Structure 1
Amino acid sequence: MVVISNGFGRFHMSWAAEEAHRRGILDAYITGAYPTSAAKRLLTAAGLSGNRRVARLLARQGTYPEGLISASFLPEALMQVAVALRQKHKAFKTPTDLINRAALRGYGASAARVLGGLKGTPRLYHYRAGFGGASVARAKEKGMIALCDHSIAHPALLDHFVGHQGAWPEKGEGGRIDLLWAHILEDIGRGDHVLVNSDFVKETFLHFGWDETRLHVIYLGVDNDFVAGMPKSPATTEGGSDAPLLVFAGNFGTRKGADILARALQPITDLPWRLELIGPIESATRRRHRTFLEDARVGALGVVARERLAASLVAADIFVFPSFAEGSARVLFEAMAAGCYIITTNNSGCIAEDGVHGAIVPPGDAAATGAAIRAALQNPQKTSEIGAKNAELVANQYTQADYGDKLADLYRRLAGS
């Protein structure tokens, strides 16, 4: 029934492929670099199996059979060149955007060749935004319905949300859009239908007058790998501190509300708290909030394995994520699955409701964020009870299997249209 095109990395499209295969409806899976049997033999023979990057590649292994996989290594290698170039030369944005666009177009051309060689005619082509390119036209030539998967706010709103602390512009208006996001937006437009991962993302497309019948929403929930890596109980607190633990996970920078969180927490001096920051810290944020980051109550763990993230979330009381713009941040589902009380914004694309799963605060409002944190700290029993209910909700309604059921239902509806 369906061909799924993942693009690069262990993206949620790989879960879609696993679930489609489990239901017997996956005809082919197209992806970037993948640990095929041949690749694993080559890496082992070269003595690279212990390399960190190779380990990340091996972690992309899915539960679908290798005979359904078409892996495209070169386009992803080209994008890695662009990433390395940008890290060394921050001013090289346009050149690296051009390289990235070339990598995406190369992937799309490779996917088109795979589609051209398929026997039979699958009904659907489910592709990741930005990675469609020439393959979308090839899919349509073969009579397939093109379903584009997009997992963040409309590209023309991202810059505005960041520059205006999450505030919406007037209907139909947006912000600056760069070369790479322009490519992704064009790719989204190629789809017959667009699948997004939250009602918030859907609203960002309706903001520009998109036909609502083309837009479909399925929340991702938590994947099997994360659930398998969650400890059953929190580890013993380092140093013996019993202060409530708050966690933020993600790129600690402007878009995800780093400034707001720092300004919200600093005035809370009359209540005990600890904060763990998981993920990279933007250099500008590090400069602006040096004093905050040097506070003994704040610990910066950096980039960690998912098992370590899971352990921190299971130990946490409160997960704070005051983002200006997301799709539906996966880490919010992970935090809920781990039993956290949630403090976030509507712009995070979370399923959380204010007063039910935690607190929903206006984006850009440090005072409201601080008040929500203070209220949670002052009511530990209520905070704990809500966290436990959050874990139960995710376990019952937002697992990878639940995502697969909703996705299979959408496939059937689109194939029958």
Structure 2
Amino acid sequence: MEIIYSAAARLGGVGIANVVNHAVNAIYRAGYLKKVIVYGNSQGAVPTSLIKNVWFQPTKVFSSLSSRYYYSMKRMWLDYNASRYIKGHGCHIFHGWTHECLRSAREAKKQGAITIVERGYCHPLYSKRVLDEEYERWGLKRHPEGRIILKKYDHWHREETAALEEFEEADYVFVPAQFAKDTFLEYGFPEQKIVIIPRAADMDYYRPSEKKKDIFRAVFVGMLNIRKGIPYLLEAWRQLNLMDAELMLVGSVHDEIKSFLQRYKGVKNIRITGFVKNPVELYNSASVFVFPTLDEGSAKVTYEAMACGLPVITTPNAGSLVTDGIDGYLVNIRDVEAMKEKILFLYNNPDAGKEMGRQARLNIEPYTWQRYEQNLIAKYEEIWERQ
């Protein structure tokens, strides 16, 4: 079995690039890697002979463009290069990522290969519906009108066109959680084509440490924006008005949320830290992790918080591994009252919170990167044997 894996990421990088790195290393160790096609390499386990580095606009011609165009151009350029490589070399399985593999998947199918598209989020039409509702609710524009001349590169246009075409072309779509799968089913996608491969966390790095018994602290980690449900968390916290308590918001502040933060400026026990590269100490300073997101795939911060022994309050939409009432709570999106109730319970019952945190660590421990890699290879082998 020969696999070509393509991703608009730096092999050995962070974020999605870390997922890519674990996948590619697993494929290489299994002896299945024919070529990985990426934007750069900062790891040493996979030999350079198996890595095709793609160069994108070395003279920085497009750098001044809005990210909605720039990153689409970058993904499309990777797709073009991957399709050319596949045309000349072929493979048994091609694995690409959403928004960046339409041409390459089509070329792989021409050559008789099995095609996989990875989608780290919900179905694009589900995301569009939920977020359109949310922005309208707050009287905001989700994104400004695009430039007609650049329409084919517009990320939001491609979400409703190229992404859907990729799913139709694919033999399989890989998603990270049941909730993401459910959104595909909601839009009529064939269940037999959807494969769940749960993500992971570094259990040695993200681990519980002794918590200072100073105050009750709720922590959120992630981009501070509309999609993450920040307005609802702010309102829940304001209404609770807890003594000896703090809400810590950890992450970059998006322009769209600044007016909301201004409204809650008078709430003195809200702290905004900005982006923190390694938030493990902040997790371990907290009593509870709160993540009221509206739209995710499988939020890695929920894995990290559970690994640090925190009870987690989140929504089903987070695609988390939280078991309601055991290691945290699941509340519906936009439900301020339910969020308040769960935070207040943990505030009033610290021993229950500690027990939930202990369960969180136990329940998340199996979800190591080794397990992710084993699941991925097992799925490739299962798919290949079916042919």
Query: Smaller-chain TM-score range?
Result: 0.7 to 0.9
Name the counterpart of 2:166: 187
Name the counterpart of 1:3: 4
Name the counterpart of 1:169: none
Local SS of the residue matching 1:127: strand
After superposition, the Cα gap between the structure-2 partners of 1:276 and 1:62, relative to the gap in structure 1 and judged at 3 Å, is farther
The offset of 1:267, in angstroms, is: 1.6
Counterpart residue type for residue 375 of structure 1: F
Q: Tell me if structure 1 keeps the 8 A contact 2:124–2:159.
A: yes
Matched, 1:115 2:93: no
After superposition, the Cα gap between the structure-2 partners of 1:194 and 1:62, relative to the gap in structure 1 and judged at 3 Å, is farther
Name the counterpart of 1:286: 258
TM-superposition CA deviations, 1:148-197 (whole Å, max 9, x none): 1001111111122124359xxxxxxxxxx931313223223221110111
Name the counterpart of 1:310: 280
Counterpart residue type for residue 45 of structure 2: T
Alpha-carbon distance in structure 1 between the residues aligned to 2:32 and 2:382: 14
Q: Tell me if structure 1 keeps the 8 A contact 2:208–2:308.
A: no
Alpha-carbon distance in structure 1 between the residues aligned to 2:192 and 2:237: 43
Structure 1 counterpart of 2:56, from 63, 74, 90: 74
Counterpart residue type for residue 7 of structure 1: A
TM-superposition CA deviations, 1:284-335 (whole Å, max 9, x none): 3221231435644222121121x2x122112222110001111111111111
Structure 1 counterpart of 2:105, from 136, 148, 154: 136
After superposition, the Cα gap between the structure-2 partners of 1:158 and 1:293, relative to the gap in structure 1 and judged at 3 Å, is farther
Name the counterpart of 2:209: 233
Alpha-carbon distance in structure 1 between the residues aligned to 2:124 and 2:59: 25
Alpha-carbon distance in structure 1 between the residues aligned to 2:163 and 2:59: 19
Structural mapping, 1:133-172, within 5 Å: 133-164=102-133
Q: Tell me if structure 1 keeps the 8 A contact 2:217–2:288.
A: yes
Local SS of the residue matching 1:267: helix
Name the counterpart of 2:289: 319
After superposition, the Cα gap between the structure-2 partners of 1:76 and 1:15, relative to the gap in structure 1 and judged at 3 Å, is farther
Q: Tell me if structure 1 keeps the 8 A contact 2:116–2:171.
A: yes
Name the counterpart of 1:39: none
Local SS of the residue matching 1:30: strand
Q: Tell me if structure 1 keeps the 8 A contact 2:326–2:359.
A: no
Structure 2 counterpart of 1:199, from 178, 196, 207: 178
After superposition, the Cα gap between the structure-2 partners of 1:79 and 1:140, relative to the gap in structure 1 and judged at 3 Å, is farther
Matched, 1:409 2:378: yes
TM-score (norm 1): 0.80
Name the counterpart of 2:200: 221
Gaps of 5+ in 1: 36-60, 87-95, 167-176
Name the counterpart of 1:297: 269
Matched, 1:25 2:5: no
Q: Tell me if structure 2 keeps the 8 A contact 1:231–1:311.
A: no
Name the counterpart of 1:381: 351
Name the counterpart of 1:14: 21
Q: Tell me if structure 2 keeps the 8 A contact 1:79–1:103.
A: no
Gaps of 5+ in 2: 136-154
Aligned pairs, number: 360
TM-score (norm 2): 0.85
Alpha-carbon distance in structure 2 between the residues aligned to 1:342 and 1:232: 14
Counterpart residue type for residue 175 of structure 2: V
Q: Tell me if structure 2 keeps the 8 A contact 1:293–1:299.
A: no
Alpha-carbon distance in structure 1 between the residues aligned to 2:104 and 2:75: 11
Structural mapping, 1:50-89, within 5 Å: 61=43, 63-74=45-56, 81=63, 85-86=65-66
After superposition, the Cα gap between the structure-2 partners of 1:75 and 1:31, relative to the gap in structure 1 and judged at 3 Å, is farther
Alpha-carbon distance in structure 2 between the residues aligned to 1:401 and 1:24: 16
Name the counterpart of 1:339: 309
Counterpart residue type for residue 244 of structure 2: P
Counterpart residue type for residue 341 of structure 1: P
Q: Tell me if structure 1 keeps the 8 A contact 2:221–2:250.
A: yes
Alpha-carbon distance in structure 2 between the residues aligned to 1:250 and 1:77: 32
Q: Which has the higher helix share?
A: 1
After superposition, the Cα gap between the structure-2 partners of 1:324 and 1:232, relative to the gap in structure 1 and judged at 3 Å, is closer
CA RMSD of aligned residues (A): 2.5
